[in-house]
Amino acid sequence: MSANSNGVVRSGSLGGDFFDFACKVMLIGDSGVGKTCLLVRFKDGAFLSGSFISTVGIDFRNKVVDIDGSKVKLQIWDTAGQERFRSVTHAYYRDAHALLLLFDVTNRQSFENIRAWVSEIHEYANDDVVVMLLGNKSDMTSERLVKREEAEKLAKDNGIAYMETSAKTGLNVDLSFMAVAKDLKMKKTRRPNEPRFNVRDFVDQQKQTPSGCCF
Amino acid sequence: MADSPGRPDGTDDEDQDVLIGEEPGASVHPMLATEDSYEELDYDLNIEAPITEQRERLASGTIASIVEEHTGPASAEEVGTEATELENDVERSSLEGDLSNLQISEEVTQRRADTVPDRQDVPNDTDEEVLQNREAGQREIKDEDIHSSVWRDHKKHVFILSEAGKPIYSRYGNEDKLVSLMGVMQALISFVQDGKNNLRSIVAGGRTFVFLVRPPLILVAVCRTHESQQQLLLQLTYVYNQVLSVLTYSQLSRVLETRKNYDLRRLLGGTEKFLDNLLNLIDQDPSFLLTAVRCLPLDSTVRDTIGHSIQSAKIKDLVFAILIADNQLVTLCRMKKYILHPADLHLVFNLLNASTSFQAADSWIPICLPKFDSAGFLHAHISYLDNSKACLLLLTVDKMMFFELAKCKEKIVEKLKKHHCIEAINRAVAGGGYRCLEVGISDLRHFIYKSKSTAQFTAPELEAPYREKEERARLFNMYQYVHQRVHNAARPLKIMFHVGSREAMLGWVTTGFELYAVFGPLATKQVAILAVNKLLKWIKKEEYRLFILDPPEF
């Protein structure tokens, strides 16, 4: 088993289960935007309702997914949003193949802070890292404070994909992780004459928009 | 009530059995530092240590020296660079902090959590995320009206403020609403300091006010309980250590030196629950009172096997491996040169106790153990083994070691499983410890025994009549009372017999151990003394099960 520069591990059996590719995905964003909830929804299909358990430091979970017949193992880092853990999370940025950057559509400040997060990504992460901007809690239409158009514009300006998610309803949650896994798989298996896989286009085709949106 | 300061009559022969170094639970291989925190407090109480001296005493370079030893001086310098990095971060954020302060003064009534970016982890009232039971309880407490009698009547208030008088933490109520109260505290302290003196405590209105000045912080406890000033000071010291464990002393002093009016809550955001939980533990767990650690009673062969399993998975730069189950220590494996202080271990216990997030996944966190090294962070890989009650912490100095330690943990789990150790731990936890009945002394209801040379203590499970919460709390207060009487600095006692209306208590302190035993109210002094001698023999017989006497090393 060998790891190349962007943290992609090929064929191995880390942790006992077999897979064709492995990649590291990191969830980042302000504290309280729902990073852990999004991950638990993806991993266990459950919503952590009625609880606010803030992550301490970094949590680490694995999930193997099937992408067009290949097993892709996602090693997912769930980080604490609080400032004091930044120096630890920075240390693991450059190992990440993909970063899921979250904000809370009902929390304006978490959206305003996205610019700071993006510059942090430029500073610490690998150049070919896949970044996806996720507006979480999109089911809470009546409390929404960030318009979808604003977020889409911000994502476009930074050349990254944008999706609205809801850990509560499950909207686009699987897609966000699967798109990352697919991107990795395509990078690994693409023949020279084939077109590059574009995560943004893929996501734009596949994503669903939250229903009953009043904006 | 009768106090007997000397050795009780007729027990000289029995006493001969207990030679120093041979008392139950004694060991020549301590894994924990055994200096008494009370002595340290005396130092604080009696010697006017200039601030600078206190700082030197606090900061040490243990972590830097480990790094240097293992990787050469260049890497040790990197540790220094990291510190500078942090400093830059802080400077940047302190600017933001100032901006938000401006907002605060304009919108006094608005909750701070809404205005300061990094405190948004604290969900406000409209948040859809309802807090989990324990945390929900705390949240209600934070919303308490500080003008209500409920707030005033809490048994023990604890406040943290900066030397400039800025609120940092309040156990009850929102500290934002306590600005003027904390201002008064700061004024009192600086008024007395102005006269080249130190404010220690005030007794007024049925309450004791205890002040602990640890520049750049001020900690204050306001109590309606009967705890002594020393006991409260010790508790405030634990609280102070908890703050350091999040920030390190270096960062704390640097931040507040650069900007005296910095709002420290920005950096402490999300850690209120650890302070809340610590204060609750202090009010019910004797380990804090005794500055000692409780071990999970376990067959010594099982404990040895666990120790060997951990030892054999040793990797470079692994400083401590700590296995904890149900708030009790299973084993602690350490680098030969380094020992842990019980106060540091208490912070680790509190960390696990206060958060449920560790059960869900493997975690990686920076933690400062102030007695070990207040200048830097250790990095901890935390995982519950195989969905059991046993939690393994692997501590290192290198923040990039997550995957090495994850592998190390896998190896340990494999070995432990092979020898069925995890089941053994689960069984021991489920069994709830041992019963006082096992000792075979009819009138003995409960006891706490601390071996001083190992800083470990043991106690049986609480049984009738101490099953109810209120009764447990009352018993704990009784232990606190006997503890403060025997440790009274002005009039220390070696042995004390106290007869109350509901139980009789014996406290006995020697150079080797501390023993507190509870009897029925009709027990006489003679009966009690005979009983504790029998008890000591029983503990001696069981010492390999109750204590860690042969701690493993890397």
Q: What is the DSSP string of B71-132?
A: H-HHHHHHHHHHHHHHHHHHHHHHHHHHHHHHHHHH-TTS-HHHHSGGGTTS--TT-S-PPP
Euclidean distance between CA atoms B230 and A203, whole angstroms: 63
Show the beta-strand stretches assigned E in B205-253. Answer: 207-214, 217-223
The verdict on a CB contact (< 8 Å) between B120 and A30 is: yes
Structural domain boundaries in chain B: 2-30+434-546, 37-155+229-432
Cβ-based interface (< 8 Å): residues of A facing B = 15, 30-32, 36, 40, 49-61, 78, 80-88, 91-92, 107, 109-110, 112-113, 137, 140, 143
The verdict on a CB contact (< 8 Å) between A56 and B364 is: no
What is the per-residue pLDDT for B35? 67
Q: Select the residue of B127, B364, B406 nearest A88 (Cβ to Cβ).
A: B364
Residue B319: closest CA among B376, B380, B250: B380
Q: Report pLDDT digits (tens) over A14-39.
A: 445 678 888 899 999 999 999 999 99
For the cut 60, the answer to whether the pLDDT of residue A42 exceeds it is yes
Residue A111 with chain B: CB contacts under 8 Å: none
Per the listing, tokens 């950057």 go with A101
Q: Select the residue of B123, B130, B268 nearest A50 (Cβ to Cβ).
A: B130
What value does the mean pLDDT of chain A take?
A: 84
Helix (H) / strand (E) element for A61: namely strand A58-67
Structure tokens at B417: 């499983």
What is the per-residue pLDDT for B12? 42
DSSP assignment string, A100-119: EEEEETT-HHHHHTHHHHHH
Instruction: Name the CATH topology of B2-30+434-546.
Output: Beta-Lactamase (3.30.450)
Show the beta-strand stretches assigned E in A87-203. Answer: 98-104, 130-136, 161-164
Q: Select the residue of B127, B360, B399 nearest A59 (Cβ to Cβ).
A: B360
pTM of the model: 0.82
Helix (H) / strand (E) element for B15: namely helix B12-16
For the cut 50, the answer to whether the pLDDT of residue A215 exceeds it is no
Chain A interface mutation, best of B100, B121, B268, highest count of A Cβ atoms under 10 Å: B121
Euclidean distance between CA atoms B426 and B423, whole angstroms: 5
The verdict on a CB contact (< 8 Å) between A83 and B118 is: yes
Report the chain B residue with the minimal C-alpha distance to residue A114.
B117
Q: How many CB atoms lie within 10 A of CB B315?
A: 14
What is residue B153's three-state secondary structure? coil
Per the listing, tokens 């009945």 go with B437
Shortest Cα distance, chain A CAs vs residue B551, angstroms:
29
Task: Provide the residue-wise pLDDT of chain B in tens; the chain has 554 residues.
Answer: 444 444 444 444 444 445 666 788 888 777 888 766 555 555 555 444 444 444 444 445 778 887 777 666 555 545 444 444 444 444 444 434 333 333 333 333 333 333 333 333 333 333 333 333 344 444 456 677 888 889 989 999 999 999 999 999 999 988 888 999 999 999 999 999 998 888 999 999 899 999 999 999 999 999 998 899 999 999 999 999 999 999 999 999 999 999 988 899 888 877 888 999 999 999 999 999 999 999 999 999 999 999 999 999 988 889 999 999 999 999 999 998 898 999 999 999 999 999 888 888 889 999 999 999 999 999 999 999 988 999 999 999 998 899 899 999 999 999 999 999 999 999 999 988 899 999 999 889 999 999 999 999 999 999 989 999 999 999 999 999 999 999 988 888 999 999 999 999 999 999 999 999 999 999 999 999 999 999 999 999 999 999 999 899 98
Q: Select the residue of B132, B269, B400 nearest A91 (Cβ to Cβ).
A: B400
Report the chain B residue with the minimal C-alpha distance to residue A112.
B117
Shortest Cα distance, chain B CAs vs residue A203, angstroms:
28
What is the per-residue pLDDT for B80? 44
Euclidean distance between CA atoms A148 and B436, whole angstroms: 65
What is the per-residue pLDDT for B516? 97
DSSP state of B32: B
Euclidean distance between CA atoms A132 and A98, whole angstroms: 8
Residue A30 with chain B: CB contacts under 8 Å: 117-118, 120-121
Report the chain B residue with the minimal C-alpha distance to residue A53.
B357
Furthest-apart CA atoms within chain B: distance in Å: 75
On the question of a cis peptide bond just before residue B216, with omega within 30 degrees of 0, the verdict is: yes
The verdict on a CB contact (< 8 Å) between A81 and B121 is: yes
Q: Dihedral, CA atoms, B241, B247, B252, B254, nearest 10 degrees?
A: 150
The verdict on a CB contact (< 8 Å) between B379 and A113 is: no
Please check whether residue B351 is in contact with residue B368, taking contact to mean a CB–CB distance below 8 angstroms.
no
Euclidean distance between CA atoms B314 and B307, whole angstroms: 11
Shortest Cα distance, chain B CAs vs residue A5, angstroms:
15
How far out from the chain centre does Cα B394 lie? 19
Chain A interface mutation, best of B90, B99, B118, highest count of A Cβ atoms under 10 Å: B118
Structure tokens at B274: 């650890």
The verdict on a CB contact (< 8 Å) between A60 and B364 is: yes
Shortest Cα distance, chain B CAs vs residue A151, angstroms:
19
Residue A80 with chain B: CB contacts under 8 Å: 270
Q: Residue B359 contacts by C-beta under 8 Å, 6 or more apart in sequence?
A: B384
Please check whether residue A37 is in contact with residue A167, taking contact to mean a CB–CB distance below 8 angstroms.
yes
What is the per-residue pLDDT for B60? 56
Domains B2-30+434-546 and B37-155+229-432 share a fold: yes
DSSP assignment string, A72-94: EEEEEEEE--SGGGHHHHHHHHT
Residue A83 with chain B: CB contacts under 8 Å: 89, 93, 118, 266-267, 269
Shortest Cα distance, chain A CAs vs residue B501, angstroms:
44
Judge: domain A2-206, CATH 3.40.50.300: yes
Checking ipTM against 0.85, whether it exceeds it is no
What is the per-residue pLDDT for A74? 92
Residue B80 with chain A: CB contacts under 8 Å: none
Cα B47 to Cα A68, B193, B218, B322: the distances in Å are 73, 15, 18, 36
Structure tokens at A13: 């059996």
Shortest Cα distance, chain B CAs vs residue A200, angstroms:
29
- Terminal alpha carbon distance of chain B: 50
Least confident among A167-171, A193-197, B264-268, B337-341: A193-197
- Percent of chain A exceeding pLDDT 90 equals 48
Please check whether residue B550 is in contact with residue B35, taking contact to mean a CB–CB distance below 8 angstroms.
no
The verdict on a CB contact (< 8 Å) between B117 and A109 is: yes
Please check whether residue A210 is in contact with residue A138, taking contact to mean a CB–CB distance below 8 angstroms.
yes
The verdict on a CB contact (< 8 Å) between B365 and A50 is: no
Residue A93: closest CA among A104, A105, A85, A82: A85
The verdict on a CB contact (< 8 Å) between A82 and B82 is: no
| Pairing, β B378-384 against β B362-367 | antiparallel
CATH superfamily of this structure's domain B37-155+229-432: Dynein light chain 2a, cytoplasmic (3.30.450.30)
Cα B303 to Cα A37, B89, B233, B449, B537: the distances in Å are 38, 44, 35, 20, 22
The verdict on a CB contact (< 8 Å) between B121 and A86 is: no
Residue B125 with chain A: CB contacts under 8 Å: none
Residue B348: closest CA among B382, B304, B308: B382
Euclidean distance between CA atoms A21 and B425, whole angstroms: 37
Backbone angles phi, psi at A55, to 5 degrees: -70, 140
Q: Using N-to-C axis directions, what is the helix angle for B272-282 and B342-354, rounded to 10°? A: 120
Shortest Cα distance, chain B CAs vs residue A32, angstroms:
5
- Percent of chain A exceeding pLDDT 70 equals 88
What is the per-residue pLDDT for A209? 73
What is the per-residue pLDDT for B314? 87
Chain A interface mutation, best of B95, B129, B273, B377, highest count of A Cβ atoms under 10 Å: B129
Please check whether residue B374 is in contact with residue B368, taking contact to mean a CB–CB distance below 8 angstroms.
yes
Q: Select the residue of B85, B267, B362 nearest A84 (Cβ to Cβ).
A: B267
Chain A interface mutation, best of B364, B384, B394, B405, highest count of A Cβ atoms under 10 Å: B364
Per the listing, tokens 């009352």 go with B474
